[in-house]
């Protein structure tokens, strides 16, 4: 495989939802997971695919020494965070992996959880990694990411034993190419396709947008597997204050 690929899963839920969250997105009918913004909604003016693009740009921009994706403890949880939505990224680790992360999140802030994703920037050092004649760059990158993400066959997300339903349906991909600028320090450990300059990219992955969580502590358990033998369990300790 041309690059470092991994399935990482994370999740959270809330004990209470503030009224401000309801105003950020209209009700789209029956919502099986009311702690989440509906999949087809536009939280804070953007659809879920656009939020996935934005989270990917944020994750790639952070240098190795303080990158929240590579942080194993949550010490870098607040790096470059701001605005109405807080990004809570995956935990990078080997194919079989379990771990914990703690994070303090401001009250009245929505949370975008990256359950697991494949970001595909272009170009890459591999000269064979390029579109076929007549194929658009977007279609090429989407097909490459899809081939990997289609291998995800089980995702379980729960809070204090309360499971979310149909987690695999929370999959989104870029509607078009977006621009990502990866920090050069990430090239060796995160993605060898990073050049340090703006690059066209797409993302395909599983994301959930949570309405602002209630104040206090939340313990989250997540489990995921894929057809390549990934087996990952994570526990997240969130404090909302």
| pLDDT for residue 28 | 58
- pTM for the structure as a whole: 0.88
Q: Is residue 4 one of the residues assigned to a domain?
A: no
Residue 2 is assigned to a structural domain of this protein:
no
**Closest by alpha carbon to 43, among 23, 17, 18?**
23
Q: Is residue 8 part of a domain?
A: no
What's residue 60's pLDDT? 98
In the chain, how many domains are there? 1
- Quote the CA–CA distance of 229 and 217 in Å, as a whole number: 32
Q: Name, in order, each residue with C-beta under 8 angstroms of 174's C-beta and a sequence gap of 6 or more.
A: 49, 52, 53, 138, 142, 201, 202, 203, 204
Q: Is 231 helix (H, G, I), strand (E, B) or coil?
A: strand
Q: How many CA atoms within 13 Å lie on the side-chain side of 211?
A: 24
Residue 167 lies in a domain: yes
User: 105 lies in a domain?
Assistant: yes
Per the structure, the complete domain to which residue 53 belongs is given by 19-240
Is residue 93 domain-resident? yes
The confidence score (pLDDT) of residue 144 equals 97
pLDDT by residue for the chain (241 residues), tens digit each?
445 443 433 333 333 333 344 444 454 568 899 889 999 999 999 999 999 999 999 999 999 999 999 999 999 999 999 999 999 998 888 889 898 999 999 999 999 999 899 999 999 999 999 999 999 999 999 999 999 999 999 999 887 778 899 999 999 999 999 999 999 999 999 999 999 999 999 999 999 999 998 999 987 788 899 999 999 888 889 999 9
Q: Say if 25 falls within a structural domain.
A: yes
Assigned domain for 223 exists: yes
């Amino acid at each position: 495989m041309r690059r470092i690929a991994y399935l990482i899963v994370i999740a959270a839920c809330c004990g209470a939802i503030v009224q401000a969250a309801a105003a950020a997105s209209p009700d789209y009918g029956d919502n099986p997971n009311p702690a989440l913004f509906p999949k087809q909604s536009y939280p804070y003016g953007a659809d879920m695919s656009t939020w996935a693009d934005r989270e990917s740009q944020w994750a790639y921009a952070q240098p190795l020494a303080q990158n929240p994706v590579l942080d194993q403890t949550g010490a870098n949880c607040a790096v470059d965070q701001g605005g109405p939505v807080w990004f809570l990224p995956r935990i990078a680790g080997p194919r079989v992996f379990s771990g914990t992360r703690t994070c303090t999140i401001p009250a009245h802030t929505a949370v975008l959880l990256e359950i697991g994703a494949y970001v595909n920037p272009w170009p890459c050092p591999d000269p064979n990694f390029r579109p076929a004649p007549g194929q658009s760059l977007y279609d090429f990158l989407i097909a490459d990411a899809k081939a990997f993400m289609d291998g995800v066959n089980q995702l379980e997300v729960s809070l204090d034993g309360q499971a979310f339903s149909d987690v695999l349906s929370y999959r989104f991909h870029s509607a078009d190419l977006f621009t990502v600028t990866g920090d050069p320090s990430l090239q060796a450990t995160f993605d060898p396709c990073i050049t340090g300059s703006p690059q066209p990219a797409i993302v395909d992955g599983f994301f959930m947008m949570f309405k602002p969580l209630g104040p206090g502590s939340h313990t989250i358990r997540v489990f995921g597997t894929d057809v390549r033998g990934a087996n990952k369990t994570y526990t997240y300790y969130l404090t909302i204050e």
